[in-house]
Structure 1
Amino acid sequence: MAAYLVGVVLFFLGIAVTIALHEWGHYITARAFGMKVRRFFIGFGPSVFSVRRGETVYGLKAVPVGGFCDIAGMTAQDELEPDEQHRAMYLKPWWQRIIVLSGGVAMNIIVGFVVLYGVAVTSGIPNPDADFSARVGSVQCVPDRQIDATTLSECLGTGPAGEAGVRVGDRILAVGDREVETFEEVRDTVQQLPGETVTLRIERDGVLVDVPVIVEEATRLDASGREVTVGAIGVTSQPPTDVYKKFGPVEGVGATARFTGDMIEATFEGLLAFPGKIPGVVASIFGAEREIDGPMSVVGASRIGGELVERSMWDMFMMMLASLNFFLALFNLVPLPPLDGGHIAVVLYERIRDFFRKLRGKTPGGPADYTRLMPITVGMAALLLSVGATVIIADVVNPIRLFG
């Protein structure tokens, strides 16, 4: 229990640090371009403490699950003090504003990469060069039926693949006209062809070989326990080697960069699927089964962090923290205010608008009027608060559990 609580606290602190570094990305880029940063706070709600250093007030608020970097003149509607007139953000070149608005996103990606690099050189990360291709591990007979969830009937012989000449170590490239990359694709394709003859395109010792195989009919149990007829050829997969690999300091840079790309791609796909998973989160509050890959709040993520530390799975703990950074980065790029992506979209709109005005011989149109975006900003903020509250409730009453 003590280890679990330590993990919960550490992951919560990791989230707070992640948010702080996101805001610091805005802070350092704004300062670099001569913009005035009025306030730099971590958290929301009542202030716990604050201190002024130079022209900036730094502080911590009661709920450390967010933060803000208050830059003078982020919009033309901001009220400015006399000493801020020449340092207002909206008066700076468009490319400087884009860099500042992207500073938090860039910082999260850098932090995620650094965390993964640390894991890569200390304990290991998924090896981007691991061979997951459809390589044959064994050839065997095909049991004609499935007795229960874990038992198949007995059989004799070498099986259809063995009789056709398929050998251990062969790499299956195609089943008939369908190219395959994994053994699961081989299995799924063959299951749809009971009683047919199919040609396997095989790579053996660097040579391509076409092997005709008669697909045997067999009965198996589907997810509901009902018997279905499927095709089988009597091959098993060869387990991939070096799935996880510890890298040296130099080679770890490239491996981490590739794995970072894979994680960002997976995070992007998860972000696209996010809205569709909210109904399931709501249903889980009332007793439905919680999807293990569904949305989590700070509460849920910290609980998972506690479970990982309790089992000394520090590498998974750190990779989860890296994943959080990538999610925060991509989520903030959503082109709707009050997110960073919404502000970036406004700057790009101004730039594109002024480009076409210039083509028509007109002067630049001036800063965008953010008051027109208030309905979208308020609506988006209300939606984020509602979704956040819903996920927190689900994480309390029906949390995601990795280990049962």
Structure 2
Amino acid sequence: MTIFWTIVGIAIFFVGLLISIAWHELGHFATARWFGIKVPEFMVGFGRTVWSVRRGETEYGIKAIPLGGYVRMIGMLPPAPGRGRLGRSRRTGPFQGLMDDARAQSQMDVRPEDADRQFWTRSPWKRIVVMFAGPFMNLILAVALFATVLMGVGTFQVGTQVAAVNECVVPAAVVAEQEAPPAECPAGAPPTPALAAGIQPGDRIVAFDGRPVAENAGPGLQESIRASSGPMPITVERGGQQLNLTVDVIDNTLADLNPRNRGQTVTAGFLGVELSQGYYRLGPDQVVERVGEMITGTAEAITQIPARVPALFGAAFLGEERAQDSPMGVVGVSRIGGEILSQEGVPWQDNLGLFLSMLAAVNISLFLLNLLPIPPLDGGQIVPAIWESIKRNTAQALGRPDPGPVDAARLLPFAYVFVLVFLGFSLMVAVADIVNPVRIFG
């Protein structure tokens, strides 16, 4: 049964990736059609066409290599300035032939009646919208998935109800050695602030330091307690009544709550209560906060990719240990999707929440990666459009002639280098995902 659910999980996550790709391309397609740009193809995947159907002027299909997708718009590149009799530039250079071939390919589907439906003929802001719409669709999907997890399924965390009250103040190091608070207080150990204030198990903390505390705001309550010191007003709900108490928060050595600092300790405010744990649905503000944290963390991870290549190479070809934060590809994340569903004895909320959160993280990655100013990524068309807008507005302000479209084909040498590097990196990641995969459950 474990093998069955592993296969099912891999298949479902793989379908989720294809949907994410198609959703991305839908952003380009819808805005291109909105601005009157002709779109001959809408494809998920690369290589040989497995299935396709034509509706109107567009062919929709799935290709054999599911590592991306594309929407083919006519006239992505403007004609070369100063063309010769054969439509090729009179300029020479090592990459000139490649640029001329790319321009010819861009003009391949342009019929005389479609001359005014080319991508490059649209104003810069329209081109920016068309190219940004794809990554933005991934961001929308990521927000929707996180909202489903946090506001619908709920997340396992501490609540605001007191499960137990510690009797005495014991440093975290002593608790860690015994893996639990001691059954009896050491000689001379003072009572905890919570016990001294009269807080009892079963109380629900509804306000701290004069600020109301929502039932699903347990982590925030923990942070507020740890950031406080000295006498603090606290309101608890007990037996349907609210009691106003005063608790004298003290400094103590406590376990660090940051997952990245597991096993470390910090000095922080100490109350002496153990909060209940359960699944709590969060609000829209917490969804926005989580998405912001994910975007920041993913952007940081992208900048660290070059530094992680040596370790990834070692994991793929030298048998070295694979780090938990190692870059993963389609194979790796799909395998983890199967690993999630194959767990036994785990609440469905955990499995579904982790499954959807991983798919949301993939969409955050697609959002950020596609904004890099490198062709053939979407940012490789956004940057030339921004530069063209700046040049045109500057010329207009100075009373000079329109400088014309920016020749985005000049970025193609960078595109070829990027594609070669990306293919090599993707191959290395795929090998590592197969022979030495990341295992989130040990």
TM exceeds 0.5? yes
Amino acid at match of 2:133: G
Q: Which is worse superposed, 270-279 or 148-157?
A: 148-157
Distance 1:14 1:155, change over 3 A: same
Q: 1:388 to 1:145 in 2, by over 3 A?
A: closer
1:314-325 alignment to 2 at 5 Å? 314-325=352-363
How far has the Cα of 1:317 moved from its partner? 0.8
Shift of 1:269: 3.1
Matched AA of 1:47: T
The equivalent of 1:195 in structure 2 is: none
1:295 aligns with 2:344: no
8 Å contact from structure 1 (residues 141, 156) kept in 2: no
CA deviation vs aligned residue, 1:257-300 (integer Å, no higher than 9, x gap)? 44333333333333333333332222212222212122111001
Q: CA contact under 8 A between 2:252 and 2:269: conserved in structure 1?
A: no
Alpha-carbon distance change, 236 to 30 in structure 1, aligned in 2, over 3 angstroms: same
Deviation track 1:29-88 (CA, whole Å, cap 9, x = no partner) reads 100111000211111122223333222222221111211101111221331322221011
- 1:96 pairs, out of 119, 126, 147, with 126
Please say if residues 250 and 271 of structure 2, whose CA atoms lie closer than 8 Å, have aligned partners that are also in contact: no
The 1:183–1:275 alpha-carbon spacing in structure 2 relative to 1, beyond 3 Å, is farther
Q: Distance in 1 between matches of 2:26 and 2:250?
A: 62
Q: More deviation in 108-117 or 95-104?
A: 108-117
Q: Which residue of 2 aligns with 1:192?
A: none
Deviation by residue 1:233-273 (Cα, 9 ceiling, x = unmatched): 995864555674236xxxx5555444333333333333333
Cα RMSD over matched residues? 4.1
**1:140 aligned to 159, 165, 168, which one?**
168
Matched, 1:205 2:234: yes
- The secondary structure found in structure 2 opposite 1:156 is coil
Aligned partners of 1:212, 1:10: CA distance in 2, in Å?
50
Is the deviation greater in 260-269 or in 56-65? Answer: 260-269
| Partners of 2:252 and 2:270 within 8 A in 1 | no
Residue 367 of structure 1 deviates from its aligned partner by 1.3
Alignment match of 1:114 (pick from 140, 144, 150)? 144
Deviation at 1:359, TM superposition (A): 3.0
Q: TM-score of the superposition, structure 2-length normalised?
A: 0.70
Counterpart pick for 1:245 among 241, 265, 280: 280
Q: Deviations over 1:5-40 (max 9, x none)?
A: 011011111111111111111001100111000211
Is 1:60 aligned with 2:98?
A: no
**Partner SS for 1:37:** coil
| 1:105 and 2:143 matched | no
Q: Distance in 1 between matches of 2:424 and 2:196?
A: 57
Contact 1:292 1:400 in 2 (8 A): yes
Of 341, 344, 351, the residue aligned with 2:379 is 341
Instruction: Indicate which of 358, 365, 368 corresponds to 1:327.
Output: 365
The equivalent of 2:300 in structure 1 is 269
Q: Report % sequence identity.
A: 34
Q: How does 1:48-197 map to 2 (within 5 A)?
A: 48-76=50-78, 77=103, 78-79=106-107, 80-125=110-155, 138=166, 140=168, 142=170, 156-159=186-189, 162=192
Aligned residues: 369
Match status 1:308 vs 2:340: yes
Structure 1 gap segments, 5+ residues each = 173-180, 190-198, 216-222, 224-229
How far the C-alpha of 1:147 sits from its partner, in A, is 12
How far, CA to CA, are the matches of 2:48 and 2:370 in structure 1? Answer: 24
| Aligned partner (choices 354, 374, 377) of residue 412 of structure 2 | 374
- Alignment gaps of 5+ in structure 2: 79-102, 200-204, 210-219, 236-244, 254-260
TM-score, with normalisation over the residues of structure 1? Answer: 0.76
Q: Secondary structure at the residue paired with 1:69? A: strand
Distance in 1, matches of 2:6 and 2:57, equals: 42
User: Against the structure 1 CA distance between its residues 231 and 161, is the aligned structure 2 distance closer, same or farther, given a 3 Å change threshold?
Assistant: farther
Q: Hey, what's the Cα distance between the residues in 1 that align with 2:409 and 2:365?
A: 29
Offset at 1:98?
A: 1.1
CA distance in 1, matches of 2:150, 2:116: 46
Q: Name which of structure 1's ranges 73-82 and 301-310 shifts more when overlaid on structure 2.
A: 73-82
- Range with greater deviation from structure 2 (76-85 or 204-213): 204-213
Structure 2 partner of 1:175? none
Cα 1:202–1:351 change in 2 (3 A) is farther
